[in-house]
């Protein structure tokens, strides 16, 4: 990694922690964001020239606090605010455990259930991820003006609805943590298998989701949900280098060159699965189970050597936790690999509620294709193509459609 890139990464990571502390002290995410952004810009201007300070976080915090004081004094000339600003400016850097708690507060505030899912995703990328509004808009394929309004409304709702800036109490933590994990997973999926557009993978989003999952696991190292989420994302993202061919076309798991997988990410992901399973001996967490399925694929020397019995068994466990049509579809695919296309197709056809889901039709098409039923396969491929996917995914389905006899 080049020195400039290393500095940019350090500034970004420490900037998030500074923002979290400022949000607690000022009680305003907007003010904290403005002040932290100013400090980040100054760091990126001066550190490459003057060198990285001995304590980068303290440098950023002092700079951001000074900026926050300027903003407070400019926007509120009342004596109380002036006194508050004076105390704020002279505060010492907080110890690590306080910074950790600040980050957790920010995570749970950005992913509060009172906000829409779209707002949670956008706010997490903008506030926790440190992406600009333009970068968030570009990543989520939304006009920048629309994204700016979405972010403004989300922050206004936090202020107006009195959403507390705190870690939830113990009785609420499991459900709230699942909500945070869901938001991060949505960000990853939006980048990993883009539902529309010319790219199959939007690397900026997948990388940001992995970074946020890693942050969550660092903040909550004993929580199986956090460990399972990070494991799942690492094991999927490890395949990134093999998922596209030289022309940008999709390469399916069965055809991927496994030597191109990121073995460091695979190793870390598998180890995290083991840690998470040891923390849930009686009832595994849903993200841990999904990560265990991904680990079965990651550990197989080749697609033909995949332990499909283990994969199907893990899906059976997942269905006891999250019985939904998409999980059943994925299980049916595993059964088809183990027992043949007819067995898988019977399960696919028994799943209701997915007529508008392109991958249900694409899966049916593939199994009908393999089962020697070309006319039915053609209709299913055409239905999947008509429902809209990313260009590489559509190109793959069109190739399969063209391979049908007649």
User: Is the residue at 172 inside a domain?
Assistant: yes
Number of domains in the chain: 4
86 pLDDT band (50/70/90 cuts)? very low
Domain end (from 52, 85, 118): 85
Residues 289 and 317 sit within 8 Å (Cβ to Cβ): yes
C-alpha span between 183 and 126 (Å, rounded): 13
Q: Do 233 and 314 belong to one domain?
A: yes
C-alpha span between 96 and 103 (Å, rounded): 11
Q: Do 307 and 353 belong to one domain?
A: no
pLDDT digits (tens, 9 = 90+) for 10-65: 887 788 888 888 888 888 888 888 898 899 899 999 999 999 999 998 899 899 98
320 is written with which tokens? 């006891």
Q: Do 309 and 329 belong to one domain?
A: no
Domain end (from 304, 321, 338): 321
Tell me the average pLDDT of the chain.
87
User: Is the residue at 209 inside a domain?
Assistant: no
User: Is the residue at 341 inside a domain?
Assistant: yes
User: Is the residue at 214 inside a domain?
Assistant: no
Mean pLDDT of 310-337: 96
Predicted local distance difference test score (pLDDT) of residue 84: 54
pLDDT digits (tens, 9 = 90+) for 90-104: 455 566 777 778 888
User: Is the residue at 237 inside a domain?
Assistant: yes
Q: Do 314 and 330 belong to one domain?
A: no
Q: Do 102 and 51 belong to one domain?
A: no
Q: Do 301 and 352 belong to one domain?
A: no
Torsion of CA 76, 81, 86, 92, to 10 degrees: -110
What is the percent of the chain with per-residue pLDDT over 90, rounded to a whole number?
Answer: 45
Predicted local distance difference test score (pLDDT) of residue 79: 46
286 pLDDT band (50/70/90 cuts)? very high
77 pLDDT band (50/70/90 cuts)? low
Predicted local distance difference test score (pLDDT) of residue 87: 45
Mean pLDDT of 275-295: 93
323 pLDDT band (50/70/90 cuts)? very high
User: Is the residue at 211 inside a domain?
Assistant: no
The tally of CA atoms less than 13 A away on the side-chain side of residue 28 is 13
User: Is the residue at 216 inside a domain?
Assistant: no
pLDDT digits (tens, 9 = 90+) for 95-130: 677 777 888 888 888 889 889 888 998 888 888 877
Question: Could you list the residue range(s) of the whole structural domain that residue 32 is in?
Answer: 1-85
User: Is the residue at 67 inside a domain?
Assistant: yes
Tell which residue, 332, 193, 311, 298, has the closest CA to residue 250.
193
Taking the complete model, does pTM exceed 0.75, yes or no? yes
pLDDT digits (tens, 9 = 90+) for 207-264: 888 988 998 999 899 999 999 999 999 999 999 989 888 887 889 999 999 999 999 9
């Amino acid at each position: 990694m080049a020195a400039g890139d290393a500095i940019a990464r350090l500034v970004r990571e420490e900037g998030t922690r500074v923002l979290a502390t400022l949000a607690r002290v000022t009680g305003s995410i907007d003010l904290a964001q403005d002040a932290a952004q100013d400090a980040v810009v100054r760091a990126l201007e001066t550190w490459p020239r003057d060198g990285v300070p001995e304590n980068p976080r303290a440098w950023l915090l002092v700079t951001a606090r000074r900026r926050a004081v300027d903003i407070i004094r400019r926007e509120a000339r009342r004596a109380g605010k002036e006194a508050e600003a004076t105390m704020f400016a002279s505060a010492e850097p907080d110890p690590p455990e306080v910074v950790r708690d600040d980050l957790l507060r920010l995570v749970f505030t950005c992913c509060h259930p009172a906000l829409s899912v779209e707002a949670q995703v956008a706010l997490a990328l903008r506030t926790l991820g440190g992406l600009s509004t333009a970068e968030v808009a570009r990543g989520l394929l939304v006009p920048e003006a629309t994204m700016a309004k979405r972010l403004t409304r989300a922050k206004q709702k936090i202020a107006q609805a009195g959403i507390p800036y705190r870690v939830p109490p113990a009785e609420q933590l499991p459900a709230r943590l699942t909500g945070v994990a869901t938001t991060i997973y949505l960000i990853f999926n939006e980048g990993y298998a883009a539902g529309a557009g010319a790219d199959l993978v939007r690397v900026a989003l997948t990388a940001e989701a992995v970074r946020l999952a890693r942050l969550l696991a660092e903040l909550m190292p004993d929580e199986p949900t956090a460990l399972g989420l990070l494991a799942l994302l690492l094991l999927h993202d490890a395949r990134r280098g093999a998922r596209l061919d030289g022309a940008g076309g999709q390469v399916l798991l069965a055809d991927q060159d496994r030597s191109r997988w990121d073995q460091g990410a695979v190793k870390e992901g598998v180890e995290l699965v083991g840690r998470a399973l040891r923390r849930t001996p009686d009832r595994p967490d849903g993200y841990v189970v999904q990560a265990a399925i991904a680990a079965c694929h990651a550990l197989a020397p080749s697609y033909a050597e995949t332990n499909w019995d283990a994969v199907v068994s893990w899906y059976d466990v997942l269905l006891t936790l999250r019985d939904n049509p998409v999980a059943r579809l994925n299980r049916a695919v595993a059964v088809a690999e183990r027992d043949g296309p007819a067995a898988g197709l019977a399960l696919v056809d028994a799943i209701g509620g997915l007529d508008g889901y392109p991958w249900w039709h694409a899966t049916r098409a593939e199994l009908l294709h393999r089962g020697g039923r070309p006319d039915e396969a053609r209709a299913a491929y055409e239905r999947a193509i008509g429902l809209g996917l990313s260009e590489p995914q559509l190109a793959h389905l069109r190739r399969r459609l063209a391979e049908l006899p007649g």
